[in-house]
Amino acid sequence: MKRSDEDAWIKQKALEEDCAFVAAGYFTATSPRSIFAVAHKAPFKLLRSELPHPLTLAADTEAPAEVVVLIAGKDQPIARVFYDYQGATLNLEFLHDVPFTTFDAEVKLTSGKHTEVAQVAIKDHKATLLSKTDLTEDDIAEVRLLPQDLR
């Protein structure tokens, strides 16, 4: 099986297992027990209208040409992945309100390695996925979110 065929099969299986959870780009009130998303680069200009508030960048920097976004369901962007160099943290910024405030996550890296994180808190649409790390948004291949407290 070719890599692209295998990736497509994995994505389809994850969607079947988790069920559709995105409707018109928003999380539904009945979000599933887990959310599977694939990391993709996207032009920042296209994503700008999706962000819940203006992007905060370090002083004297310009908006990036491309950003890494998590895509779930039917090609719906759900979060921006970004690295904070000052804090050495890998973060998510959700593009819409989510019906949970904490989640666990299974992260697959582009190197093929996996890591798991527990009890990640969301505040103001943002969550720190990994702390004290040198992994950046370019190292993320896939993320499975496991909501802990559906509202």
What is the C-alpha separation between 40 and 138, in angstroms, rounded?
Answer: 9
What is the extent of the structural domain holding 44? 3-54+63-147
Total domains in the fold of the chain: 1
Helices (H), the chain: 3-18, 44-47
Comparison of pLDDT for 7 and 12, the residue scoring more? 7
pLDDT on residue 88: 96
* Model pLDDT for residues 68-109, shown as the tens digit of each residue: 999 998 788 899 999 999 999 999 999 888 889 999 999 999
Helix (H) or strand (E) holding 108: strand 102-109
38 and 76 in contact (C-beta within 8 Å)?
A: no
* Residue in this structure with the two tokens 């908006």, named with its chain if needed: 63
Asked if the model's pLDDT at residue 145 lies above 70, the reply is yes
pTM for this model (two decimals): 0.72
